[in-house]
Amino acid sequence: MLPLARRTVARSAGRLIEGAPALAFRCYTRQRLLSTLAVLEQRDGKLNAGSLSAFTAAQKLGGPVHGFIAGSSVGAAAEEAAKVDGVEKIIVVDNAAYEKGLPENYAPLLVENIKKGGYTHIIAGHTAFGKNLLPRVAALLDSQQISDITSIESENTFVRPIYAGNAIATVESSDAIKIITIRGTAFAAATPESGSAAIEQGVDPNADSPTEWVSEDLAKSDRPDLATASKVVSGGRGLKSKENFDKIMMPLADTLGAAIGASRAAVDSGYADNSLQVGQTGKVVAPQLYMAVGISGAIQHLAGMKDSKVIAAINTDGDAPIFQVADVGLVGDLFDKVPELTEKIKSS
Amino acid sequence: MSALRILVPVKRVIDYAVKPRVNKAQTGIETAGVKHSMNPFDELSIEESVRIREKKRAPGGVEDICAISAGPAKAQDILRTAMAMGADRGILVETKEGEDLEPLTVAKMLQKAVEQEKSNLVILGKQSIDDDANQTGQMLAGLLGWSQATQASKVEFGEGDTVLVTKEVDGGVETVRGKLPMIVTTDLRLNEPRYASLPNIMKAKKKKLDKLSLSDFGLQNEKRLKVLKVTEPPARTGGGKVEDVDGLIGKLKELGAL
């Protein structure tokens, strides 16, 4: 938060010295009016800790930061979010109608609260929830959303990957209300500590939703969450079957305390669940260690993992493109090498 | 149940297998002489529309499948592809070469097209693989005030204009029940698009293709976002290979990853 805020102040000060008071005043006014609403996610009254990344991004903008949370019995989640340092206010709407985050009624709800609070920036994670909801909000406010940003240059300038991460665009928004989704791996989640934000009831327009939630089927796992894990082991077509995938990848993941990911080929062949897909159209991850097993490294896959700190690859094909990005590569049969690796890590 | 009048927006993008290059001026991606094709998620939209008709999945039947694209004159190639896959007709909203439209503008254009074509189901791809925005479908649903189901992996039709959609969400799937008129965006697992056969490619040449412009919809290409620069991502250089598992463990420890 500090460096950027300081720079903005320094910039206004500089202009003042240069003798352009009108400009400096305008700049000051805009700075004063900047305020951000971070849209938080919850499930069954439990705060999604990853959504606190929105606070981190909001604080980089400077200006007051408020949080927004809606659903049935969201009191405890709001109290937890209120502990994030530097957050002024958490706006709460306790109404079961918003529990499942249906955009048909959640978008009008958010729009009413945005108008009431006079926010200039709205931030949510580029997650299934954020992707579904925010563009609808943006359209209702006649604002061109900026998706999946990885960096904030100033209050109106943002950086985002395009073309599956093969290019990085810096864009400047001229909209009065900036609607932004952020890439979670680019902004660490804020931690609830000693903050004491006020908790306030939001306005509830009680819009109808023509869509109703029917059911969900979520993969249950004791392993770390793929999107936020510090280590990820990912399997591809080279594993040849679901049995092999489970037999080879799971012990490795458990030994490392890693989350499991998969390439599109592995998911399409039924080796792994859809929700484990890493890539342009699946999850984007940036762990400390990403180990690619039997994955060739197509550009769509690289889009989802090339910001990992260390990439390791095991593949029989020494010419596979994955080796061009891997910090360490081992050419060999994964059916021999991975169990050996698992054993040696376990015993060391 | 109402007969379906399906509108399928399709976008011409750089082919997914091509590695895009940033232009020298750092203003965008080099597009000249680069292979373009239909956005892969839009192929899924066309395929799904055609399957709804072929498998008679909608109780009210399918009255019309119209593909629409906004882009340069060359975008009619992908409209022909859509028609060869089974779309009945196409609409090209022609823009100047190199003139991109933002998702909000496309959504506003589609809102008008929906009214004009009396569409009651719009099937879009979940995102285009160039801009990666993932916005247009949701924006359109917002502008129209319709039901939306994004990232669909299954679409079923019920009585009384209801549509049951299974959506891919973080950690699994979710099912919602919407009601026509409705917006659906497609995810990878929805279907496997067919290849257009030669006879169908020939037939597609005879299908109706209307050419319009943004101003026919009372719109202008209004830019809210100014692209200041486009750069290559920081290059990653491979760190080389090791001989065996011990070498791998050693290197990972050296890099602090274990």
Predicted local distance difference test score (pLDDT) of residue A21: 43
Closest to B189 measured CA to CA, from B175, B171, B173, B178: B173
Identify the band that residue A16 occupies on the pLDDT scale cut at 50, 70 and 90: very low
Q: Report B:1-60 residues touching A (Cβ under 8 A).
A: 14, 16, 19-20, 22, 29
- Using a CB–CB cutoff of 8 Å, tell me whether B235 touches chain A: no
pLDDT at A122 > cutoff 70: yes
Predicted local distance difference test score (pLDDT) of residue A294: 98
Instruction: Give every CB contact of residue A92 below 8 A, 6+ residues apart in sequence.
Output: A69, A70, A74, A75, A78, A199, A200, A201, A202
Two tokens, residue B54: 């072929």
* Interatomic CA distance for residues A229 and A232, integer angstroms: 7
Helix segments in A18-74, DSSP class H: 21-33, 53-61
Residues of chain B where predicted confidence (pLDDT) is lower than 50: none
* Interatomic CA distance for residues B65 and B101, integer angstroms: 24
Work out the number of other CB atoms within 10 angstroms of the CB of residue B100.
Answer: 15
Q: Do A165 and A144 meet the contact criterion of CB atoms below 8 Å apart? A: no
* Interatomic CA distance for residues B86 and B70, integer angstroms: 19
Two tokens, residue A309: 């700190």
What residues form DSSP beta bridges with A181? A124
Beta strands at A198-201 and A89-94: parallel, antiparallel or unpaired: parallel
Q: Is A256 left (phi over 0), alpha (psi -120 to 50) or beta?
A: alpha
Q: Tell if the CB–CB gap between A168 and B29 is shorter than 8 Å.
A: no
Residue B134 has its nearest CB partner, among A147, A213, A227, at A147
Our CA-based measurement puts residue A259 at a distance from the nearest CA of chain B, in whole angstroms, of 12
Residue written as tokens 């250089």? B237
Our CA-based measurement puts residue B176 at a distance from the nearest CA of chain A, in whole angstroms, of 4
Identify the band that residue A22 occupies on the pLDDT scale cut at 50, 70 and 90: very low
- Using a CB–CB cutoff of 8 Å, tell me whether B142 touches chain A: yes
Work out the number of other CB atoms within 10 angstroms of the CB of residue A58.
Answer: 30
Residues of chain B contacting A327 with CB distance shorter than 8 Å:
238-239, 251, 255
Q: Tell if the CB–CB gap between A329 and B238 is shorter than 8 Å.
A: yes
Say if residue A263 carries a ligand binding annotation.
yes
Q: Tell if the CB–CB gap between A139 and B139 is shorter than 8 Å.
A: yes
Q: Tell if the CB–CB gap between B104 and A324 is shorter than 8 Å.
A: no
Q: What are phi and psi of A339, to 5 degrees?
A: -60, -35
For testing contact with chain B, the best of A48, A144, A263 (most B CBs within 10 A):
A144
Q: Tell if the CB–CB gap between A144 and B104 is shorter than 8 Å.
A: yes
Two tokens, residue A1: 């938060």
Work out the number of other CB atoms within 10 angstroms of the CB of residue A214.
Answer: 13
Q: Do B75 and B91 meet the contact criterion of CB atoms below 8 Å apart? A: no
Two tokens, residue A163: 């073309």
Say if residue A295 carries a ligand binding annotation.
yes
Residue B19 has its nearest CB partner, among A288, A299, A345, at A299
pLDDT at A18 > cutoff 70: no
Q: Do A250 and A342 meet the contact criterion of CB atoms below 8 Å apart? A: no
Our CA-based measurement puts residue B106 at a distance from the nearest CA of chain A, in whole angstroms, of 11
Identify the band that residue A222 occupies on the pLDDT scale cut at 50, 70 and 90: confident
Average the pLDDT over A37-56 and give the result: 96
- Using a CB–CB cutoff of 8 Å, tell me whether A210 touches chain B: yes
Average pLDDT of chain A to the nearest whole number: 91
Q: Tell if the CB–CB gap between B147 and A104 is shorter than 8 Å.
A: yes
* Interatomic CA distance for residues A96 and A73, integer angstroms: 8
pLDDT at A11 > cutoff 50: no
Is the preceding omega at residue B233 within 30 degrees of 0, hence cis? no
pLDDT at A270 > cutoff 60: yes
Tell me whether residue A207 is exposed, middle or buried, using C-beta atoms within 10 angstroms of its C-beta: 0 to 12, 13 to 18, 19 or more: middle
- Using a CB–CB cutoff of 8 Å, tell me whether B136 touches chain A: yes
Say if residue A280 carries a ligand binding annotation.
yes
Residues of chain B contacting A136 with CB distance shorter than 8 Å:
138-139, 141-142, 148
Report which residue type is found at A170. T
* Interatomic CA distance for residues A106 and A97, integer angstroms: 8
Closest to B2 measured CA to CA, from B56, B53, B58: B58
Say if residue A279 carries a ligand binding annotation.
yes
Q: Report A:104-123 residues touching B (Cβ under 8 A).
A: 104, 107
Q: Do A88 and A66 meet the contact criterion of CB atoms below 8 Å apart? A: yes
* Interatomic CA distance for residues B219 and B238, integer angstroms: 48
The four Cα atoms A54, A59, A62, A66 give a dihedral, to 10 degrees, of 60
Residue A172 has its nearest CB partner, among B16, B148, B228, at B228
Q: Which helix (H) or strand (E) holds B229?
A: strand B225-231
**Segment A278-312, tens digit of pLDDT:** 998 889 999 999 999 999 999 999 999 999 999 99
Tell me whether residue A194 is exposed, middle or buried, using C-beta atoms within 10 angstroms of its C-beta: 0 to 12, 13 to 18, 19 or more: exposed
pLDDT at A32 > cutoff 70: no
3-state secondary structure of B152: strand
Say if residue A63 carries a ligand binding annotation.
no
3-state secondary structure of A14: helix
* Interatomic CA distance for residues B7 and A262, integer angstroms: 34
Residue B138 has its nearest CB partner, among A136, A217, A311, at A136
Q: Tell if the CB–CB gap between B139 and A138 is shorter than 8 Å.
A: yes
* Interatomic CA distance for residues B164 and B158, integer angstroms: 7
Predicted local distance difference test score (pLDDT) of residue A4: 52
Comparison of pLDDT for A173 and A185, the residue scoring more: A173
User: Which residue from A minimizes the CA distance to B142?
Assistant: A136
Measured between its terminal Cα atoms, the distance across chain B in Å is 60
Q: What is the pTM of this model?
A: 0.91
* Interatomic CA distance for residues A71 and B167, integer angstroms: 20
Q: Tell if the CB–CB gap between A163 and B129 is shorter than 8 Å.
A: yes
- Using a CB–CB cutoff of 8 Å, tell me whether A316 touches chain B: no
CB burial string B205-224: b at 16+ within 10 A, e below: eebebeebebeebebeeeeb
Our CA-based measurement puts residue B165 at a distance from the nearest CA of chain A, in whole angstroms, of 9
pLDDT at A233 > cutoff 70: yes
**Segment A71-118, tens digit of pLDDT:** 999 999 999 999 999 999 999 999 999 999 999 999 999 999 999 999
Residues of chain B contacting A100 with CB distance shorter than 8 Å:
174
* Interatomic CA distance for residues A147 and A134, integer angstroms: 9
Beta strands at A259-262 and A212-218: parallel, antiparallel or unpaired: unpaired
Percent of chain A with pLDDT over 70: 91
Residues of chain B contacting A312 with CB distance shorter than 8 Å:
248, 251-252, 257
Say if residue A26 carries a ligand binding annotation.
no
Two tokens, residue A300: 């769509």
Say if residue A11 carries a ligand binding annotation.
no
Give the neighbor-by-neighbor strand order of the sheet with B225-231.
A151-154, A157-162, A167-173, B225-231
Q: Do A316 and A298 meet the contact criterion of CB atoms below 8 Å apart? A: no
